[in-house]
């Protein structure tokens, strides 16, 4: 197979890159670059939600007279730089332009650099209004609207047109130097990407994947791609996305992963795909708690030294980081230390100027997702790659679920400042009244009680008024507030996609539990140029379309496996049942099977079971009957170091058994090629635990899709089985064996969900 690029679809030929006559920028983007000065300061938080902000702007506009215009489209130019934007309001009679900002808390505590940014935006709009209407002077006003009290505070200044034009020119000149360098970078990047060739031989299956990804990126479509282990999914999706960027079909690439290991695979792939002289800007973004140097300090200059003069030091740090090209967590940490800035917020700023961003799912799909918000603000056409996308359903369910528990309430009430104590007490009283009325340990309700939501509203309003002091509150007071905000927000969106339940075994927990994340994710897909979700396990297609809210036009690709059936010996062990009620009887024959296989062909094997308790009992029996076979056991809450030690046991010349929970840290996303792992025993169908919550989810799935058992138990369980089996053969030269241990693996509805290329053999008793 020759090297080269996937052919360009005839319907979407590449677009040549030509220099634009004008560099274009939005007012908001320009001012964020030029107007921020001084300290990083997050004390004036949390900000109102987008919905509250829109509602506040409407209230302000409705209070104005008939001469008041809203969302006034404006543009202006300076030395080849085109500036565009929309002023919140303009009163032609009084000749006043308004920049409206919603807030909560004490306005007097708003940091100076926030106000400076607001003034910069307002004055830029003022300059463009003066030019448009040939005005000689203009009143420029900041209108601050308190979303809780609906009180307006107006701060206004009169400016001559000359003053505003001078301000406009100064800020344009400050941005233009950087902006032109950015334009040159993008044009050089696009030319290089158009010429980029694939550095390896394309496997047929990998070429099929790459061509399809390019096609959907070029046409602005979405794709579900089921591609087995060994296809080379990371390279096969990133390369065509880079080519689509070079053809100016997309502006940015976001590569989203469920686990840290996925981020490293993407970084390695990009290093392999792009020559050093390309200078592609690749950014790895990491959670704040993993990179924070002063975890006990608040995010403002009076508390954290890395927040002090952050915006003054940012230009140097930004230039140094971008020059490095591939900006891993380690690189960002080094640059941040050199320039004395916060590494987490440096990475947030670098996201504005990066070509490819690698991060966790939550950065794009969560309720307040940073990357999604940034893409919408900047107007980017984004190509999103979702790695191991079978994980997205469960992750998204957690993103759109929220809970309030009695213990947090109790601790918050005890630790709260006097100003909040009565509001927390009222909420706690209402919470306890509802909990005490429930007779069963677990119960589901049609909707969250109105009395609870009213108490939540009162509490949130009172604590919101103190939002700028929130960082000074004790831990459990802060936790209660953010739990309450999340719960209240989801209560406003409550519908059949979610359940409201109360678990009350001892201390009550009220939960809004998402079942179908699709209604929340639908807008994410609608507002994204192209999303490619890929995994070895995305069958059946309807399961993902229904639960993720993908449009019906989403394309489907089932890539052929690069492996042949004779590489993987798949044995069905039907005489052993791993059902909960049969586990006592299953352990001895299972251990006998494991020992026989190990002694016949010594090497490294993984044994997967459904729970830590089951694993421990299997290990105990192994120690009893086969003490000569080394074994090691996955335990709960292993640290990264402990997980690494567990995996280091898979040495190429090793001879040992490793026992792990199916669906856990070692069930997917680990790469053990060759002799590092030669077989797996999968002693479960991986079905979610049968309990009250699972049963309620099954009933809701039945109601919505007429597929309760399959959507709740069967499909998620077999996903884990196929992922675990995929650890055994990783390359074209690998050979291995998989034992599927349970009589249910022989059922027709189960077998048809297993990979087509497997040749199943039933093991005799």
pLDDT digits (tens, 9 = 90+) for 91-146: 999 999 999 999 877 888 888 888 999 999 999 999 999 999 999 999 999 999 99
Distance, in Å, from the CA atom of 468 to the CA atom of 79, rounded to the nearest integer, reads: 41
Considering only residues 492 and 764, tell me which one the structure prediction assigns the higher pLDDT: 492
Read off the pLDDT band of 20 (50, 70, 90). very low
Task: Tell me the helix, strand and coil percentages in the chain, rounded to 5.
Answer: 50, 20, 35
The CA-atom distances, in angstroms, between 152 and each of 118, 189, 301, 467, 673 are: 16, 47, 29, 18, 65
The answer, yes or no, to whether residue 601 has pLDDT greater than 90, is: yes
User: Are 538 and 223 spatial neighbours (Cβ–Cβ below 8 Å)?
Assistant: no
When mean pLDDT is compared over 50-59, 167-176, 177-186, the highest value belongs to 167-176
Distance, in Å, from the CA atom of 81 to the CA atom of 88, rounded to the nearest integer, reads: 22
Which tokens hold the place of 680? 């797996």
Distance, in Å, from the CA atom of 155 to the CA atom of 568, rounded to the nearest integer, reads: 73
pLDDT digits (tens, 9 = 90+) for 276-296: 888 899 999 999 889 999 888
Which tokens hold the place of 93? 């009679």
Nearest to 219 by CA among 372, 6, 526, 10: 10
672's CB contacts (< 8 A; 6+ apart) are 604, 647, 650, 727, 730
Nearest to 384 by CA among 216, 174, 207: 216
Phi, psi dihedrals of residue 672, rounded to the nearest 5°: -130, 75
User: Are 459 and 505 spatial neighbours (Cβ–Cβ below 8 Å)?
Assistant: no
Distance, in Å, from the CA atom of 711 to the CA atom of 717, rounded to the nearest integer, reads: 10
Q: Please tell me the predicted confidence (pLDDT) of residue 506.
A: 81
pLDDT digits (tens, 9 = 90+) for 448-500: 999 999 999 999 888 877 765 655 677 888 899 999 999 999 999 999 999 99
Q: Helix 329-339 crosses helix 310-324 at what angle (to 10 degrees)?
A: 140
Distance, in Å, from the CA atom of 291 to the CA atom of 285, rounded to the nearest integer, reads: 10
pLDDT digits (tens, 9 = 90+) for 423-458: 999 999 999 999 999 999 999 999 999 999 999 999
The CA-atom distances, in angstroms, between 565 and each of 64, 311, 489, 537, 546 are: 74, 59, 51, 18, 32
Q: Please tell me the predicted confidence (pLDDT) of residue 22.
A: 61
For the ranges 16-20, 190-194, 261-265, which has the lowest average pLDDT? 16-20
Nearest to 88 by CA among 103, 74, 73, 71: 71
Q: Please tell me the predicted confidence (pLDDT) of residue 49.
A: 73
- Exposure string of 208-239, with b = 16+ CB inside 10 Å and e = fewer, is bbbbbbbbbbbeebbbbbbbbbbbbbbbbbbb
Distance, in Å, from the CA atom of 43 to the CA atom of 307, rounded to the nearest integer, reads: 12
The answer, yes or no, to whether residue 405 has pLDDT greater than 90, is: yes
Read off the pLDDT band of 671 (50, 70, 90). confident
pLDDT digits (tens, 9 = 90+) for 148-178: 889 999 999 999 999 999 999 999 999 998 9
Q: Please tell me the predicted confidence (pLDDT) of residue 10.
A: 30
754's CB contacts (< 8 A; 6+ apart) are 718, 721, 722, 760
DSSP characters over 479-490: HHHHHHHHHHHH
Q: Please tell me the predicted confidence (pLDDT) of residue 468.
A: 56
User: Are 666 and 728 spatial neighbours (Cβ–Cβ below 8 Å)?
Assistant: no
Distance, in Å, from the CA atom of 516 to the CA atom of 526, rounded to the nearest integer, reads: 17
pLDDT digits (tens, 9 = 90+) for 201-246: 998 999 999 999 999 999 999 999 999 888 899 999 999 999 999 9
**In what side-by-side order are the strands of the sheet with 402-405?**
402-405, 509-514, 498-503, 442-445
Q: Please tell me the predicted confidence (pLDDT) of residue 108.
A: 85
Helix/strand/coil (H/E/C) assignment for every residue in 79-99:
CCEEEEEEEEEEECCCCEEEE
The answer, yes or no, to whether residue 43 has pLDDT greater than 60, is: yes
Q: Please tell me the predicted confidence (pLDDT) of residue 470.
A: 58
- For residue 403, how many other CB atoms are within 10 A of its CB? 15
Read off the pLDDT band of 550 (50, 70, 90). very high
Q: Please tell me the predicted confidence (pLDDT) of residue 44.
A: 59
Distance, in Å, from the CA atom of 477 to the CA atom of 415, rounded to the nearest integer, reads: 7
Nearest to 152 by CA among 107, 92, 97: 107
pLDDT digits (tens, 9 = 90+) for 510-529: 999 999 999 999 999 999 99
Name beta bridge partners: 383: 253, 530
Q: Please tell me the predicted confidence (pLDDT) of residue 1.
A: 32
What is the number of residues in the chain?
A: 765
Q: What is the average pLDDT value for the chain, to the nearest integer? A: 91
Which tokens hold the place of 593? 């099977």
The answer, yes or no, to whether residue 15 has pLDDT greater than 50, is: no
pLDDT digits (tens, 9 = 90+) for 340-349: 999 999 999 9
Q: Helix 541-548 crosses helix 518-526 at what angle (to 10 degrees)?
A: 90
The pTM (predicted TM-score) of the whole model is 0.91
The answer, yes or no, to whether residue 7 has pLDDT greater than 70, is: no
When mean pLDDT is compared over 570-579, 661-670, 723-732, the highest value belongs to 570-579
Q: Please tell me the predicted confidence (pLDDT) of residue 732.
A: 82
Q: Please tell me the predicted confidence (pLDDT) of residue 154.
A: 96
The CA-atom distances, in angstroms, between 616 and each of 560, 611, 629, 634, 665 are: 38, 9, 16, 9, 17
Angle formed at CA 308 by CA 306 and CA 313, multiple of 5 degrees: 80
Nearest to 610 by CA among 632, 638, 644, 634: 634
- For residue 723, how many other CB atoms are within 10 A of its CB? 22
Distance, in Å, from the CA atom of 440 to the CA atom of 430, rounded to the nearest integer, reads: 18
The answer, yes or no, to whether residue 4 has pLDDT greater than 70, is: no
Q: Which helix (H) or strand (E) holds 696?
A: helix 692-705
Pairing of strands 736-741, 509-514: unpaired
């Amino acid at each position: 197979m020759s090297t080269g690029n996937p052919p360009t679809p005839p319907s979407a030929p590449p677009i040549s890159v030509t220099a634009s006559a004008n560099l274009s920028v939005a007012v908001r983007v320009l001012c964020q670059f030029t107007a921020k000065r001084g300290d990083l300061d997050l004390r004036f938080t949390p900000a109102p939600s987008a919905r509250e902000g829109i509602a506040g702007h409407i209230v302000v506009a409705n209070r104005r007279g008939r001469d008041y215009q809203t969302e006034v489209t404006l543009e202006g130019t300076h030395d080849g730089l085109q500036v565009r934007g929309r002023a919140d309001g303009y009163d032609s009679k009084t000749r006043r332009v308004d920049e409206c900002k919603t807030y909560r808390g004490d306005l007097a505590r708003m940091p100076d650099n926030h106000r400076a940014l607001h003034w910069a935006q307002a004055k830029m709009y003022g300059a463009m209004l003066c030019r448009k209407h040939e005005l000689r002077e203009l009143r420029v006003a900041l209108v601050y609207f308190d979303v809780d009290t609906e009180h307006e505070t107006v701060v206004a200044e009169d400016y001559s047109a000359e003053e505003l034009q001078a301000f406009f020119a100064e800020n344009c000149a400050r941005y233009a130097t950087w902006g032109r360098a950015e334009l040159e970078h993008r044009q050089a990047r696009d030319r290089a990407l158009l010429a980029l060739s694939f550095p390896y031989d394309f496997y047929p299956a990998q070429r099929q994947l790459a061509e399809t990804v390019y096609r959907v990126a070029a046409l602005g479509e979405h794709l579900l791609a089921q591609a087995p282990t060994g296809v080379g999914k990371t390279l096969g999706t990133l390369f065509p996305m880079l080519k689509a960027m070079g053809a100016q079909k997309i502006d940015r690439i976001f590569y989203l992963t469920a686990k840290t290991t996925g981020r490293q695979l993407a970084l390695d792939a990009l290093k392999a795909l792009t020559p050093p002289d390309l200078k592609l800007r690749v950014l790895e973004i990491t959670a704040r708690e993993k990179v924070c140097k002063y975890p006990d300090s608040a995010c403002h200059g009076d508390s954290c030294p890395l927040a002090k003069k952050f915006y003054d030091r940012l230009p140097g740090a930004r230039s140094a980081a971008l020059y490095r090209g591939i900006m891993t967590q380690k690189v960002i940490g080094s640059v941040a230390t050199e320039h004395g800035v916060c590494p987490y917020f440096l990475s947030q700023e670098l996201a504005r100027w990066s070509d490819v961003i690698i991060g966790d799912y939550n950065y794009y799909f969560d309720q307040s997702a940073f990357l999604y918000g940034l893409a919408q603000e900047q107007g980017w056409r984004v190509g999103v790659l979702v790695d191991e996308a079978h994980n997205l359903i469960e992750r998204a369910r957690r993103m759109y679920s929220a809970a309030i528990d009695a213990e947090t309430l109790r601790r918050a009430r005890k630790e709260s400042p006097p100003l909040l104590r009565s509001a927390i007490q009222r909420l706690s009283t209402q919470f306890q009244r509802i909990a005490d009325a429930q007779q069963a340990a677990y119960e589901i309700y049609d909707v969250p009680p109105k009395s609870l939501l009213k108490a939540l509203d009162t509490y949130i309003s009172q604590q919101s008024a103190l939002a700028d002091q929130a960082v000074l509150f004790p831990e459990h007071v802060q936790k209660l507030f953010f739990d309450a905000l999340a719960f209240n927000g989801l209560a406003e969106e409550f519908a059949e996609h979610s359940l409201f339940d109360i678990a009350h075994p001892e201390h009550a927990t009220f939960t809004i539990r998402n079942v179908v994340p699709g209604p929340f994710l639908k807008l994410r897909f609608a507002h994204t140029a192209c999303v490619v979700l890929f995994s070895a396990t995305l069958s059946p297609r309807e399961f993902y379309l229904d639960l993720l809210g993908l449009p019906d036009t989403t394309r489907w690709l089932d890539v052929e496996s690069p492996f042949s059936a004779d590489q993987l010996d798949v044995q069905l062990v039907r005489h052993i049942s791993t059902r909960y009620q049969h586990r006592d009887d299953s352990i001895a024959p299972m251990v006998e099977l494991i020992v026989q296989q190990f002694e016949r062909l010594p090497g490294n094997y993984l044994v997967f079971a459904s729970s830590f308790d089951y694993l421990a009992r299997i290990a105990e029996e192994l120690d009893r009957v086969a003490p000569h076979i080394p074994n090691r056991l996955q335990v709960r809450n292993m640290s990264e170091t402990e997980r690494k030690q567990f995996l280091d046991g898979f040495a190429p010349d090793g001879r040992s058994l490793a026992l792990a929970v199916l669906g856990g840290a070692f069930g997917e996303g680990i790469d053990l090629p060759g002799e590092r792992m030669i077989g797996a025993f999968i002693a479960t169908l991986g079905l979610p635990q049968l309990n009250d919550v699972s049963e309620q989810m099954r009933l809701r799935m039945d109601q919505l899709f007429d597929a309760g058992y399959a959507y709740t138990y069967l499909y998620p369980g077999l996903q884990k089985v196929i992922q675990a089996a995929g650890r055994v053969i990783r390359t074209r030269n690998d050979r291995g064996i998989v034992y599927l241990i349970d009589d249910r693996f022989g059922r027709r509805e189960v077998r048809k969900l297993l990979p087509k290329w497997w040749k199943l053999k039933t093991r005799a008793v």
